[in-house]
């Protein structure tokens, strides 16, 4: 993947006063994005196994999963300030001590900040499908990036991806099946995981009559 082509557009939606206040008051849950050295995950998570989420949006799935699994650590990547603020509000409201945020371009941050074989799992729910053909080059989940994030998984660590765009799902599945470090847990697309919360993007897909395509792989 050409890392000079961004998988997102630098546009900020409205950031509420509450979200800005959360960022000011709960900054300790934001890990500084220093891409000059690898992150010592144990500094933030102790001995917990760590699961990363790529592009957590407004953080609904992130905090609900973290709340259900206090024995695990959750590291969310998001570029948009509104989403960061929203998740920080949830972290504070639910008194979560196992959830941290990196506000940066995940395509740059994961390769440069996350040590190889350090993650127990990676979630990527409803990534931007960039549906117009001329924008397909902006899609994040391309073979080179999938290989990069696979290297960050521990042996038997999992990669869980969900999209509501069938053509993108086919493209992702082909890349996953072609990655020699990954093994498909299912025969084709995965069954919905009961522990994954229904998010706004999932609801929007349902309202539009689109199915969700789920993929669940493990590192060999």
Question: Is 128 noted as a catalytic residue in this protein?
Answer: yes
Which residue is catalytic, options 34, 71, 104, 128? 128
Which of 182, 28, 52 minimizes the C-alpha distance to 109?
52
Strand, helix or coil for residue 8: coil
Q: Is 78 annotated as a binding residue?
A: yes
Rounded to 5°, angle at Cα 157 from 147 and 179: 25
Give the DSSP letter string of 20-56: HHHHHH-GGGBPP--TTS---THHHHTT--EEEEE--
User: Within a 10 A sphere around the Cβ of 82, how many other Cβ atoms?
Assistant: 17
Q: Is 6 annotated as a binding residue?
A: no
Give the DSSP letter string of 113-153: HSPTT-EEEEEEES-----SGGGGGG-S--HHHHHHHHHTE
Which of 91, 82, 119 minimizes the C-alpha distance to 29?
91
Q: Is 164 annotated as a binding residue?
A: yes
Rounded to 5°, angle at Cα 125 from 196 and 167: 125
Q: Is 53 annotated as a binding residue?
A: yes
Q: Is the dihedral of CA 89, 93, 97, 98 positive or negative?
A: negative
| Residues tagged in the binding site annotation for S-adenosyl-L-methionine | 53, 78, 105, 128
| Residues tagged in the binding site annotation | 53, 78, 105, 128, 132, 164
Catalytic residues: 128
| Residues tagged in the binding site annotation for substrate | 132, 164
């Amino acid at each position: 993947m050409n890392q000079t082509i961004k998988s997102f557009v630098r546009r900020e939606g409205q950031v509420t006063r509450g979200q800005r206040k959360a960022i000011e008051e709960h900054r300790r849950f934001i890990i500084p994005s220093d891409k000059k050295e690898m992150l010592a995950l144990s500094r933030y998570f102790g001995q917990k196994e760590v699961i990363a989420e790529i592009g957590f949006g407004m953080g609904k799935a992130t905090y609900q999963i973290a709340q259900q699994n206090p024995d695990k650590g959750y590291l969310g990547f998001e570029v948009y300030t509104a989403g960061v603020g929203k998740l920080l509000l949830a972290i504070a409201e639910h008194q979560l001590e196992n959830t941290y945020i990196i506000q940066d371009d995940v395509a740059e941050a994961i390769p440069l900040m996350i040590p190889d074989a350090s993650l127990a799992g990676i979630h990527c729910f409803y990534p931007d499908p960039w549906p117009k053909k001329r924008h397909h080059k902006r899609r994040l989940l391309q073979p080179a990036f999938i290989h990069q994030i696979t290297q960050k998984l521990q042996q038997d660590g999992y990669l869980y991806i969900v999209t509501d765009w069938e053509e993108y799902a086919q493209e992702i599945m082909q890349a996953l099946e072609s990655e020699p470090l990954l093994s498909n847990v299912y025969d084709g697309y995965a069954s919905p995981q009961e522990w994954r919360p229904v998010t706004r993007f999932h609801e929007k897909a349902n309202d539009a009559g689109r199915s969700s395509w789920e993929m669940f792989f493990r590192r060999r």
